[in-house]
Amino acid sequence: MIQDNFPPARLRGGATQATPLRLLQLTDCHLYASPERRLAGLRTQQTFDAVLELAREEFHTTDLVLATGDLVHDASKEGYRRLRRRLETIGRPVYCLPGNHDIPEVMNDIMNRGKVTSPESVRHGNWVIILLDSTVAGREGGHLRTDQLERLERNLEAHADCHAVITLHHHPVPVGSAWMDRMALDNPTDFFRIVDRYPRIRAIVCGHIHQEFDGYYRHVRLLGAPSTCVQFTPRLDQFSLDLVPPGLRWIELGADGSVDTGIRRLAVMPEELDLSVGGY
């Protein structure tokens, strides 16, 4: 069931056995060194700040935030510094992973400060969240190297008593847009061969697709989220920008392994969007 906000009855501080672990997913921010730079007409810093304000106002009982790649479009140090300062205002742990527009070494060097980090995995209660790097230098599409597949299996083994969420930037299954699916994870068979062996994996969360996506791979929930800037029109073979506003995904992880989730967007789409853009 898709809802616009966390269920009001569950807005209580601190995840326990009786209350869910509450996550927000922020993704595909595409910030720049200059806060005035635009992508498809939008000032990406402005739209990110608006989504972040929405997160602070409406999801103040969130336990943690996942930032799932393409965080800084030009991979600039100043862009990452500004992003980190903004994310710190949430006052909750923020876990970051890189996308194809990021440079992982630069991101990791700057984003590992205080509550904003780029860990291999984190455990909260009886949930483990595993962060994978699916980027390939110079390519838009994704690939999970041997070390990343080993990271996945190592953490699943180390936390075998936990329910698990796997996060990566690139989508591991087609989303129905031919141009976007050419930039998906290129070795999903290797990935799902591991997933198939661990029945306590409950969700796989990705960025990259700039749109809402909610599906299943066998028993595992597959989730994608809106960008904090421009949106891609779903299920079209050619690149197209959507008129729906930027947003975020909220996720509730129950102690019993259940996954509840929904999308929350800004009230309006910024007027500066340039629909004539044919890609970027």
- Structure confidence by residue, pLDDT tens digits, 83-103: 999 999 999 999 999 999 999
Residue 207 to residue 170: CA distance in whole angstroms = 6
What DSSP string describes 122-173?
EEETTEEEEE-----TT-SSB---HHHHHHHHHHHHHTTTSEEEEEESS-SS
Residue at 107 is within a domain: yes
Residue at 270 is within a domain: no
| pLDDT band, very low/low/confident/very high, at 62 (cuts 50, 70, 90) | very high
Kindly report whether the global pTM for this prediction surpasses the value 0.75.
yes
Residue 60, pLDDT score: 87
For the beta carbon of residue 270, count every other beta carbon within 10 angstroms: 16
Residue 106 to residue 98: CA distance in whole angstroms = 10
Residue at 14 is within a domain: no
The two counts, helices (H) then strands (E), for the chain are: 6, 16
Q: What is the mean pLDDT of residues 37-43?
A: 95
Residue at 177 is within a domain: yes
Residue at 143 is within a domain: yes
Residue 71, pLDDT score: 98
pLDDT higher than 60, residue 4:
no
Residue 174, pLDDT score: 97
Pull the structure tokens for residue 16. 């326990």
Residue 92 to residue 14: CA distance in whole angstroms = 12
Q: Tell me: the pLDDT tens digits for 205-231? A: 999 999 999 999 999 999 999 999 999
Would you say 42 and 241 are in contact if contact means Cβ atoms under 8 Å apart? no
Share in percent of the chain as helix, strand, coil (round to 5): 20, 25, 50
Query: What is the signed CA dihedral for 133, 138, 141, 146, rounded to 10 degrees?
Result: -40
| pLDDT band, very low/low/confident/very high, at 271 (cuts 50, 70, 90) | confident
Q: Burial letters for 11-28: b for 16+ Cβ neighbours within 10 Å, e otherwise?
A: eeeebeeebbbbbbbbbb
Residue at 142 is within a domain: yes
Query: Whole-number mean pLDDT of the chain?
Result: 92
Return the sign of the alpha-carbon dihedral for residues 145, 138, 88, 27: negative
Domain count, the chain: 1
Residue 4 to residue 33: CA distance in whole angstroms = 32
Residue-level length of the chain: 280
**Distant-in-sequence, close-in-space partners of 34: CB < 8 Å, separation ≥ 6:** none
Q: Tell me: the pLDDT tens digits for 248-268? A: 999 999 999 999 999 999 999
Amino acid residing at 227: S
Q: Tell me the CA distances in angstroms from 245 to 119, 149, 271, one per residue in order.
A: 30, 35, 10
Q: What is the mean pLDDT of residues 141-153?
A: 98
Residue at 11 is within a domain: no
Q: What is the mean pLDDT of residues 233-243?
A: 95
- By residue range, what is the domain housing residue 93? 22-265
Q: Tell me: the pLDDT tens digits for 168-197? A: 999 999 999 999 999 999 999 999 999 999
Residue at 4 is within a domain: no
Nearest CA to 132 out of 144, 117, 123 is that of 144
Residue 132 to residue 130: CA distance in whole angstroms = 7
pLDDT higher than 70, residue 14:
no
Residue 65's domain is classified under what CATH number? 3.60.21.10
Nearest CA to 96 out of 133, 127, 67 is that of 67
